A = this chain, B = another copy of it.
Amino acid sequence: MSTIYFEDIGVGDKTVFGEKKVTLEEILKFARKYDPQPFHVDEKAANDSIYGGLIASGWHTGGMLMRMMVDNMVNQRAGLGSPGFDDLRWILPVRPGDVLRFESTVIETRRSTSRPEMGVIRAQIFLFNQNDEKVLSVKTIGMMKTRSA
């Protein structure tokens, strides 16, 4: 497969992939290390919480999103990393057994004026669950090499 450069990406471009199955074991393992709040690590406490059951750490959902991106997008691109992202929202809880699907739409492409060998791609990303409900929304910022530089 040929590498994708900045010039190959246009506003409105849509990328869809999945599935990522979320397991109880993975939820517990991540949360015990990085987010040991009761509703992430303790099934009994989670059942009694406002969430009505164990849910994934939001940072874990972000990690799963990242892994889906690396496996399906990042490795095909002349990427230069990311300075961050905007407007992350955990819309609905992610629960054991959920199956996540990824959808990205490019909202802005801009060549760097200070570094013409680089372009910036902004995208609106959603994660959906198996019921086609949005569980996560985030606007990403990715830097890519330009083909012409």
Contacts and interface: CB of A to CB of B under 8 A. Distances in A.
A123 B70 CA distance: 30
Query: Interface on chain A toward B: helix, strand, loop, or mixed SS?
Result: mixed
A44 interface: no
Given A70-B36, A74-B37, A88 B84 contact: yes
Interface stretch (A1-9, A10-18, A55-63): A55-63
Interface in A37-77: 37, 39, 50-51, 57-59, 62-64, 66-67, 70, 74-75
Interface residues of A, number: 32
Interface of A: 30, 33-37, 39, 50-51, 57-59, 62-64, 66-67, 70, 74-75, 80-90, 137
